[in-house]
Amino acid sequence: EAQVTQNPRYLITVTGKKLTVTCSQNMNHEYMSWYRQDPGLGLRQIYYSMNVEVTDKGDVPEGYKVSRKEKRNFPLILESPSPNQTSLYFCASSFGRGDQFFGPGTRLTVL
């Protein structure tokens, strides 16, 4: 089954404790991206990757890091999480500039 998977689906952590949210797709998509969803703001792009070892900032990259060492994986790293990073996070992937397929979302709470 073609899909984008994210882990964990739910995470509660404390300020400053490094964490990684994984994203994996099995569709051989070149393009992957991360969004965050906040009430009243819709979804906003954090980072994106056009292919392996090619990443760039989206609209709200502060406090986040990403890497793209393999085509199928695109982890989101929060080196020192803060409460304002409490949000719902989505990973998405696509062939080139085609329609984006979204993962199921990760609910992150930073205390």
Partner 1 sequence: AQTVTQSQPEMSVQEAETVTLSCTYDTSESDYYLFWYKQPPSRQMILVIRQEAYKQQNATENRFSVNFQKAAKSFSLKISDSQLGDAAMYFCAYRVLIRSNNLFFGTGTRLTVIP
By C-beta, is 13 or 94 nearer to partner 1?
94
By C-beta, is 67 or 100 nearer to partner 1?
100
Residue with the two structure tokens 């009430």:
39
**Within positions 38 to 57, which residues make up the interface with partner 1, using CB under 8 A?**
40-45, 48, 50, 56
- CA triplet 77, 78, 83: central angle to 5 degrees? 150
- Please, are residues 110 and 86 in contact by the beta-carbon 8 Å criterion? yes
109 binds partner 1 (CB under 8 A): no
17-45 per-residue burial string, b: 16 or more CB within 10 A, e: under 16: eebebebbbeeebbbbbbbbeeeeeeeeb
What is the dihedral sign for C-alpha 86, 92, 97, 98? negative
19 binds partner 1 (CB under 8 A): no
102 binds partner 1 (CB under 8 A): yes
* Contact pattern for partner 1 over residues 59 through 78, marking x by CB under 8 A: x-------------------
By C-beta, is 67 or 102 nearer to partner 1?
102
Tokens of 47: 């980072």
Catalog residues that contact partner 1 under the rule CB under 8 A.
31, 33, 35, 40-45, 48, 50, 56, 58-59, 88, 90, 92, 94, 97, 99-100, 102, 104-105
